[in-house]
């Protein structure tokens, strides 16, 4: 490295350092400059020009200097210091009145109105209208005025981020929920709010534009109106209820579905009795209800049907707010042609320009092997796939079989590999060997766990969509039985709908590849896939459909939101 380069680099660093002398803090509001052909980032801390600006600088300096490095408070006070430093520490939200008092500006008052109405967005006003936003209490005290100004900025940013990307990190609900919430640019948002004559509208416009979010918000508004009935008929959980059985819940079911009780002949001197038989009239009403919601119309009342029966009138305010929160995590744009899977609904659909062009039932991960929540892109279709056995299944399920029966792998059309070569599993003492030192896979075929086709979107969870030989599970209302991947009921129909925009792939070309050799097809355009967890869906007419909290995640999110 030459001397001239080192000297130029030193000049650039000195330039940044001399600007930084205006403050004891480094890495301030920044701009990129070029010195001797070398780019350098210099600190921009403009000196205060007014008394109030000097007060704000003093307060910010104290807060920044006392914050512990690495904490959220440090990051926030640092950003605020740099932001205000770039604008001579002039206040955004405070102004002097004609009589010399300090008061909130008109823009600040508009934002305060948004804070007051935060319930309508599923928030708590107290999260933003904190005790340190008392302008009267601040008086003319320099430190308190500075704290007031910056506290208001922090509250506005907090609301903006909550509205845009949610209040809770998805991984706090479940570590496998690796969906990435959207983030605002805090400095840009402060400038935008300060320069606008309608900062309140800017904040309100940050909420999702998805139709279902808007309908959820409308449903929430009804909870703050006079038309909410708290004494709605709710069906308790209980054992599976089949036609002909007796159950105390039958009385509530008749009320919920408005089915009259059967006439029971009175017997002289006998006490009045209530028929709790799950009879044909009630079964017919349940089947009609199930069919209307896309459930398996078998008349059997299990967890999914109970959850659906409790939808709408029995939905709680917390349920609505939790589902609104999950919509805030989702991207603004799902894509013009995309795939959606909703875990509690046990259903998949393809949408083109927001219209459903294909839908089918799915089986998702069981509670102990949960399907994760995340967004990705389908890149490949694999025909006649090998099933590469995950390490957890190898340890917990296959190894015990191998100890009991050394020929187990052959009976399952599986093979074991070491160093990329097939070896004999029966020659190994599985009471001593570590099975995770080997690779196990199931060969293509009719009995393969992935069926005849899988739809691949490479991800950290090793989860994908696929066919399955276990077709009977799709007839059930509750369909959480997989090891985490999503099984598709009609995989070939799904494949045909998926490749409709592909220039060189058709259903016929896919079906011609079926055999005993794995074949890969690369899509010319990646297709967005969104795996979500919505326990409430709202139709265009405002009808709320409720689905079971299969993983308990809705309950967990409600707890976090109410902390």
DSSP 272: P
Q: How confident is the model at residue 8 (pLDDT cuts 50, 70, 90)?
A: very low
Neighbours of 483 (CB within 10 A): 17
For residues 14 and 153, state if they share a domain.
no
For residues 34 and 57, state if they share a domain.
no
What are 509-515's contacts with CB under 8 Å, separation 24+?
510/381, 510/383, 510/453, 513/383, 513/384, 514/383, 514/384, 514/452, 515/384, 515/444
- For residue 380, is it within any domain? no
| Alpha-carbon span 343 to 481, nearest angstrom | 12
For residues 435 and 396, state if they share a domain.
yes
For residues 90 and 194, state if they share a domain.
yes
The arithmetic mean of pLDDT across residues 326-347, rounded, is 96
Q: Which residue has the tokens 């409430």?
A: 536
For residues 23 and 170, state if they share a domain.
no
Are the beta carbons of 158 and 127 closer than 8 angstroms? yes
- For residue 348, is it within any domain? no
Least confident of 309-323, 418-432, 434-448: 309-323
Report the share of the chain in percent with pLDDT over 90: 58
For residues 57 and 147, state if they share a domain.
yes
Are the beta carbons of 459 and 531 closer than 8 angstroms? no
- For residue 326, is it within any domain? no
Distances (CA, A) of 27 to 23, 75, 84, 189, 327: 10, 12, 14, 20, 35
pLDDT at 6 over 70: no
Are the beta carbons of 159 and 123 closer than 8 angstroms? yes
Least confident of 8-22, 407-421, 512-526: 8-22
**Average pLDDT of the chain to the nearest whole number:** 86
For residues 189 and 102, state if they share a domain.
yes
Q: Provide the number of structural domains found in the chain.
A: 3
- For residue 20, is it within any domain? yes
Are the beta carbons of 483 and 371 closer than 8 angstroms? no
Report which of residues 56 and 10 the model is more confident about: 56
Boundary-marking domain end, from 443, 461, 490 = 443
For residues 65 and 24, state if they share a domain.
no
Q: Which residue has the tokens 């799709």?
A: 474
- For residue 285, is it within any domain? no
- For residue 412, is it within any domain? yes
Report the share of the chain in percent with pLDDT over 70: 88
For residues 115 and 37, state if they share a domain.
no
Strand partners, 241: 301
For residues 69 and 26, state if they share a domain.
no
Least confident of 7-21, 182-196, 254-268: 7-21
Which pLDDT score, from 0 to 100, does residue 89 have?
86
Q: How confident is the model at residue 50 (pLDDT cuts 50, 70, 90)?
A: confident
For residues 64 and 29, state if they share a domain.
no
| Alpha-carbon span 276 to 289, nearest angstrom | 20
One-letter-per-residue 3-state SS of 386-450 = CEECCHHHHHHHHHHHHHHCCCHHHHCCEEEEECCEEECHHHCCCCCCCHHHCEEEECCCCCCCC
- For residue 515, is it within any domain? no
- For residue 16, is it within any domain? yes
Which pLDDT score, from 0 to 100, does residue 43 have?
52
Which pLDDT score, from 0 to 100, does residue 498 have?
97
Boundary-marking domain end, from 207, 231, 257 = 207
The arithmetic mean of pLDDT across residues 482-489, rounded, is 96
For residues 112 and 19, state if they share a domain.
no
Are the beta carbons of 153 and 131 closer than 8 angstroms? no
Distances (CA, A) of 172 to 167, 177, 412, 532: 11, 8, 39, 16
Range of the domain at 408: 387-443
* Closest by Cα among 229, 234, 221, 227 to 324: 221
**In this predicted model, what pLDDT tens digit does every residue of 291-321 receive, in sequence order?**
777 677 889 998 878 877 876 456 789 999 9
Least confident of 138-147, 259-268, 349-358: 259-268
| Alpha-carbon span 560 to 557, nearest angstrom | 5
- pTM listed for this prediction: 0.77
């Amino acid at each position: 490295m030459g001397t001239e380069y080192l000297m130029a680099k030193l000049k650039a660093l000195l330039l940044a350092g001399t600007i930084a002398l205006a403050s004891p803090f480094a890495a301030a509001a920044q701009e990129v400059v070029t010195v001797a052909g070398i780019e350098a980032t210099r600190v921009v801390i403009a000196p205060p020009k007014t008394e109030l600006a000097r007060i704000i600088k003093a307060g910010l300096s104290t807060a920044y200097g006392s914050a512990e490095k690495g904490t959220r408070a440090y990051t926030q006070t640092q950003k605020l210091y740099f932001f205000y430093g770039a604008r001579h520490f002039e206040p955004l939200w405070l102004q002097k009145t004609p009589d010399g008092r300090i008061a909130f500006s008109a823009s600040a008052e508009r934002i305060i109105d948004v804070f007051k109405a935060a319930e309508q967005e599923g928030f708590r006003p107290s999260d933003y209208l904190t005790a340190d936003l008392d302008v009267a209490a601040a008086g003319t005290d320099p430190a308190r005025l500075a704290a007031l100004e910056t506290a208001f900025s922090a509250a506005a940013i907090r609301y903006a981020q909550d509205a845009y990307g949610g209040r809770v990190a998805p991984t706090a609900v479940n570590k496998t929920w690796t969906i990435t919430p959207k983030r605002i640019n805090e400095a840009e948002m402060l400038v935008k709010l300060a320069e606008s004559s309608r900062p309140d509208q800017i904040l309100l416009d940050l909420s999702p534009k998805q139709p279902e979010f808007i309908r959820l918000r409308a449903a929430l508004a009804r909870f703050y109106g006079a038309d909410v009935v708290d004494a709605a008929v709710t069906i308790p959980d209980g054992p599976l209820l089949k036609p002909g059985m007796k159950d105390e819940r039958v009385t509530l079911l008749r009320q919920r579905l408005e089915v009259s009780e059967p006439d029971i002949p009175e017997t002289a001197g006998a006490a009045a009795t209530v028929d709790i038989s799950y009879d044909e009239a009630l079964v017919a009403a349940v089947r009609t209800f199930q069919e209307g919601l896309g459930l398996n119309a078998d008349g059997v009342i299990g967890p999914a049907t109970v959850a659906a029966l409790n939808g709408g009138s029995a939905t709680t305010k917390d349920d609505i707010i939790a589902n609104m929160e999950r919509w805030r995590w989702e991207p603004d744009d799902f894509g013009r042609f995309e795939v959606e899977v909703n875990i509690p609904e046990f259903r998949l659909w393809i949408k083109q320009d927001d219209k459903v062009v294909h839908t089918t039932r799915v089986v998702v991960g069981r509670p102990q092997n949960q399907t994760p929540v995340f967004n990705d892109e389908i890149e490949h279709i694999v025909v006649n796939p090998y099933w590469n056995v995950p390490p957890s299944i190898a340890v917990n399920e296959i190894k015990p079989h191998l100890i009991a029966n050394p020929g187990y792998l052959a009976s399952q059309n599986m093979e074991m590999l070491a160093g990329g070569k097939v070896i004999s599993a029966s020659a190994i003492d599985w009471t001593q060997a570590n099975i995770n030192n080997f690779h196990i896979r199931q060969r293509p075929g009719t009995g393969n766990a992935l069926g005849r086709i899988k739809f691949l979107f490479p991800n950290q969870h090793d989860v994908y969509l696929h066919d399955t030989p276990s077709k009977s599970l799709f007839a059930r209302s509750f369909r959480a039985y997989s090891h985490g991947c999503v099984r598709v009921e009609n995989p070939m129909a799904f494949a045909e709908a998926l490749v409709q925009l592909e220039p060189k792939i058709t259903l016929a070309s896919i079906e011609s590849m079926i055999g005993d050799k794995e074949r890969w097809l690369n899509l010319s355009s990646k297709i967005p896939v969104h795996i979500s967890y919505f326990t409430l869906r709202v139709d265009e007419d405002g009808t709320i459909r409720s689905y079971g909290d299969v993983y308990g995640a809705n309950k967990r999110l409600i707890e976090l939101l109410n902390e």
